[in-house]
A and B are shown apart, each in its own frame.
Chain A
Amino acid sequence: MNTTYFNSVNRYSCLYVVKPGDTLSKVILKFYNFRYGTDGYQRAMKQILADNPTIKDSNVIKISQTINLRAIDSKETSKPLVSAKEQENLELTMKTLSQPEQEIFSLLSVMEEYWGVGSTGTGVTFASMGILLGSQDKGNIALLKQVSEVYQSYKSGKLSKGQYDYRRKQLLEKAARNLGPTEKLLFKGKTAKEAMRITRAKGVRPTAALHGNTQRLSTISKVAARGGTVLTAVNVGMACHQIANAKTNAKKNEILVETAASAVVGVMGGAAISFFIVATPVGWVTALVLGVASSAISYVSGKAALRYYHADYGESDLVTLTGVNKFCS
């Protein structure tokens, strides 16, 4: 297979999530660059159907379904890319996300792809963002959503102009207090008050800005809260898969050292955040800063451990010693 076409769009480059409008022919063209009717197309189709027993009919694939993809005619591995449970979790998560949210999930995954197994601790950062924002039904996003509801009450005559202004001010001030210094970051350089205004332009829904901002922050939050856990679980699964398929023992050991270092430091970061949240009432901001820092340290420590391992323990077979070889076979 031409790897140029088997691009690393995201962390799930080998676990493709079906989008609206996708067909297997389109997937084959996108990832393998084989057009319908060619020999390559037939081989790719045969392999995809063999690797994905859930696809009963090649003409029917469902949105958010995940498809295992691997190099054409490559040796079939005995162990799937991720476990059936992880695959099911990923599908469930994707189903609850809207199309734009799925796109953002994929974009976040690019970072994982770029950072590789060293980014196992990234989940903590996502978790911090999830804490910061809440969701449509709870937290700061729920507050922002109420601004639009208050406006609707005002328009329908249930609230006077004075009542509407007062309630809007209260809600936005509370949101601003909760978000702290990250307020401007999340509202693209504006304050919540400036961003959450009624749109006066002709031909545009008055609540367009309110709705747009609420939706955008909700997307970031959902992806962060769910994505952190899912990405970390899948990341560990991917590392196991990479160990199982690495050509040399040295490579297996490198993956193990980097992943293990990153994972343990990620957990230490999470533990540190739980202490900081107790210590400070503005835990949102602290948590976010610590989350990003933890993720970065987790990545750097993975690389540092790998460098040290190369220099001093290059000959040690940790994969066999720890039994990971058997576990990830």
Chain B
Amino acid sequence: MQLILEMIVRYSFWGMFIFGGLLIVWIIIVGFPLIILTPQPVKDYWFLVGGTKVESDLATGWDFVALILRFSVVHSVAFPWLGKKRGLTKIREVCPTWFAHYCLLFSVVTSVLMVAGFISTFILIIDSYFLS
């Protein structure tokens, strides 16, 4: 049992770096072109129907605020059901099919890497602060 736990923690240590590193690479290589390629009608729809004027104004440029909001648009296209509360379930109607597929691929891989990275991180934190 002890050995299994040690192995899990060891994998978590490397997992945090590997999943986090892959996430950064994935965002740079696939995510950045995606937010540049986001069609204007999609952005207009997102901010008019589900967003606010504030969000629309802030979603320009490349700082953290803008990036977080611009990736939110991409995730809405990938998972329209996720934007139910914002009334964005029909967002795919205003975007080309290729873009929807591209967004889906990006968001699925992002979620997987993010969840795997967080799981590894929490195992490491729990081991470091509570078990060791």
Q: Given A280-B85, A307-B132, A273–B68 Cβ distance below 8 Å? A: yes
Asked if residues A303 and B128 are in contact (CB atoms below 8 Å), the reply is yes
Q: How large is the interface on B (under 10, 10 to 19, 20 to 34, 35 or more residues)?
A: 35 or more
Tell me the bound Cα distance from A20 to B19 in angstroms: 46
Asked if residues B54 and A134 are in contact (CB atoms below 8 Å), the reply is yes
Does residue A287 face the partner (Cβ distance < 8 Å to B)? yes
Does residue A279 face the partner (Cβ distance < 8 Å to B)? yes
Q: How large is the interface on A (under 10, 10 to 19, 20 to 34, 35 or more residues)?
A: 35 or more
The residues of A that contact B65 with a CB separation of less than 8 Å are 127, 130-131, 225, 228
Asked if residues A138 and B58 are in contact (CB atoms below 8 Å), the reply is yes
Asked if residues B117 and A268 are in contact (CB atoms below 8 Å), the reply is yes
Main secondary structure of the interface of B (DSSP, over half): helix
Q: Given A123-B64, A297-B121, A308-B128, A131–B58 Cβ distance below 8 Å? A: yes
Does residue A243 face the partner (Cβ distance < 8 Å to B)? no
The residues of B that contact A272 with a CB separation of less than 8 Å are 114, 118
Q: Top 7 closest A-B pairs, CB basis?
A: A264-B20, A127-B64, A304-B128, A138-B57, A274-B71, A139-B54, A277-B72
Interface residues of A (CB under 8 A from B): 123-124, 126-127, 130-131, 134, 137-140, 178, 225-226, 228-229, 232, 260-261, 263-265, 267-268, 270-275, 277-281, 283, 287, 297, 300-301, 303-305, 307-309, 311-313
Interface residues of B (CB under 8 A from A): 9-10, 13, 16-17, 19-21, 23-24, 27, 50, 52-55, 57-58, 63-65, 67-69, 71-72, 75-76, 79, 82-83, 85-86, 88, 110-111, 114, 117-118, 121, 124-125, 127-129, 132
